[in-house]
Amino acid sequence: MKRIGWAIALAAAWLTPAAAQAPANPPQATAQTTPAAAQPNAAPPAGFAQDATKPDAATAPPAQEPVAAALPTVAPTPGIGEPDGRMGLQYQVTPIGREAAAFHNHWLLLLCAIICAVVLILLIYAMIRFRRSAHPVPSRNSHNTAIEVTWTLVPVLILVAIAIPSIRLLRHTYSPPPADLTVKVTGHQWYWSYDLPDYGVSFDSYMLKEANDPTRQKNQRARTDADGPPLLAVDNRLVIPQGKVVKFLVTADDVIHSFAVPAFWIKQDANPGQLHEAWVKVDRPGVYFGQCSELCGARHGFMPISVEVVPPAEFATWIASKGGHMPGAKPAVVAGVSPAAQTGGGTATPAPAVAGTAVATTTPAPSNPNVANRANQ
Closest by Cα among 244, 293, 239, 242 to 265: 293
Shortest distance (Å) from residue 264 CB to Cu ion:
18
When the beta carbons of 262 and 356 are compared against Cu ion, the nearer one is 262
When the beta carbons of 244 and 267 are compared against Cu ion, the nearer one is 267
On whether the CB atoms of residues 220 and 149 are closer than 8 A, the answer is no
Judged by the rule CB under 5 A, the positions of this chain that interact with Cu ion are 257, 292, 296
Closest by Cα among 82, 19, 61, 377 to 227: 82
- The three-state secondary structure class of 298 is coil
When the beta carbons of 91 and 191 are compared against Cu ion, the nearer one is 191
Closest by Cα among 117, 38, 93 to 285: 93
Strand partners, 246: 181, 280
When the beta carbons of 68 and 250 are compared against Cu ion, the nearer one is 250
When the beta carbons of 50 and 363 are compared against Cu ion, the nearer one is 50
On whether the CB atoms of residues 289 and 82 are closer than 8 A, the answer is yes
Shortest distance (Å) from residue 252 CB to Cu ion:
8
When the beta carbons of 71 and 296 are compared against Cu ion, the nearer one is 296
d(CA 240, CA 282): 9
Q: Which one-letter DSSP state was computed for residue 262?
A: G
Q: Element (H or E) spanning 162, and its range?
A: helix 145-174
d(CA 83, CA 214): 26
When the beta carbons of 213 and 269 are compared against Cu ion, the nearer one is 269
- The three-state secondary structure class of 315 is helix
Residues 6+ apart with CB under 8 A from 156: none
Shortest distance (Å) from residue 187 CB to Cu ion:
5
Shortest distance (Å) from residue 289 CB to Cu ion:
15
On whether the CB atoms of residues 180 and 110 are closer than 8 A, the answer is no
Shortest distance (Å) from residue 231 CB to Cu ion:
14
